[in-house]
Amino acid sequence: MKKIIMVSAASLVLLSGCQQVKDWSNDLTGKKDQTEEKQQDEKKPEQTPADEKGNASAPEETTPPELQLDARFFNDIKEVDGHAIIQNPSNILAMVNKDYGLGEYKPDDLVRPDVPFVFGEEDLEKAHMRKEAAEHLEDMFAGAKKDNLYLTAISGYRSYDYQKMLLEREKEQYGDEKAVMAVAPPGNSEHQSGLAMDISSQSHQFQIDIPFGETKEGKWLAEHAHEYGFILRYPEDKEEITKYQYEPWHFRYVGKEAAKVIYDKHWTLEEYFDHVKEI
């Protein structure tokens, strides 16, 4: 097993720049009168062992607290049958995408959040989320309601087998190329993590489509979801990074701290892991 830690090229350049050291000029004559030596001693800064050898110590790199992340929140990856499988799938910050999958993982803490679903009270698999995410989803729906906006949950947890069926159906309708941009392969869907929910509203006829992002509900979610620990997982103009089309209805729970950083920096989850430092 190995830890996967992604660092952007820009970060590497910055890091190498921070670690440069410069030489101190040495006295070439070695001859100074006592007055000069006294003046120099008064002006000379306190030296470190590195200074005494003729080199200034490089300033210690500082990472903002919000970009320091415990090692347990990084993907722990093992290659299984040619696929990169996450070995710590219960991690709230598990980065699930087309590169890193969940295998046939099923969360053991799935619950039904107390929010309106498009299919009513019917007991369906997709009416569930992991407990922590479900509690924060309830808070988010309540927050929207205070602003006179009424959200509707469309689809939460999906099993490996259900995702496989969805992809096959999408391929039949739209062809392979379009299908893989819209539907994750089985094992590589965030819905399987139990941390994602597709959201719409009655005012938008419960549709999950790009125009939802222009509705009052869609705009509210984009602006406020991070306050409840959720992020807009597939933002507009980030398709090259996420490998998915813009999905203004798809929200992923990552916890309030990470969500705030991602929102403030206008990052994707992938970009977040490009910048955070393991501690």
Note the pLDDT of residue 184: 85
Residue 13 has pLDDT above 70, yes or no: no
From 53-67, 178-192, 254-268, the region with the lowest mean pLDDT = 53-67
High-pLDDT (> 90) share of the chain, %: 72
H-type alpha helices, the chain: 9-18, 34-43, 49-52, 131-146, 160-174, 176-182, 216-224, 239-242, 256-265, 269-275
Residue 255 has pLDDT above 90, yes or no: yes
Q: Out of 42, 227, 247, 278, which one is annotated catalytic?
A: 247
Alpha carbon distance 46, 3 (integer Å): 41
Does residue 236 carry a catalytic annotation? no
Note the pLDDT of residue 177: 85
Burial class of residue 174, CB neighbours in 10 A (0-12, 13-18, 19+):
middle
Mean pLDDT of 55-80: 82
pLDDT digits 0-9 by tens, 134-152: 999 999 999 999 999 999 9
Note the pLDDT of residue 127: 98
DSSP 8-28: -HHHHHHHHHHT---BPPPPS
Identify the top-confidence range among 2-11, 163-172, 185-194, 225-234.
225-234
Specify whether domain 112-267 bears CATH 3.20.20.70.
no
Note the pLDDT of residue 179: 87
Q: Do the Cβ atoms of 260 and 226 come closer than 8 Å?
A: yes
Residues 6+ apart with CB under 8 A from 44: none
pTM across the whole model: 0.76
Mean pLDDT of 92-115: 97
Note the pLDDT of residue 219: 99
Band (pLDDT 50/70/90 cuts) for residue 22 is very low
Band (pLDDT 50/70/90 cuts) for residue 71 is very high
Pairing of strands 68-69, 277-278: parallel
Residue 39 has pLDDT above 60, yes or no: no
Q: Do the Cβ atoms of 278 and 5 come closer than 8 Å?
A: yes
Note the pLDDT of residue 6: 39
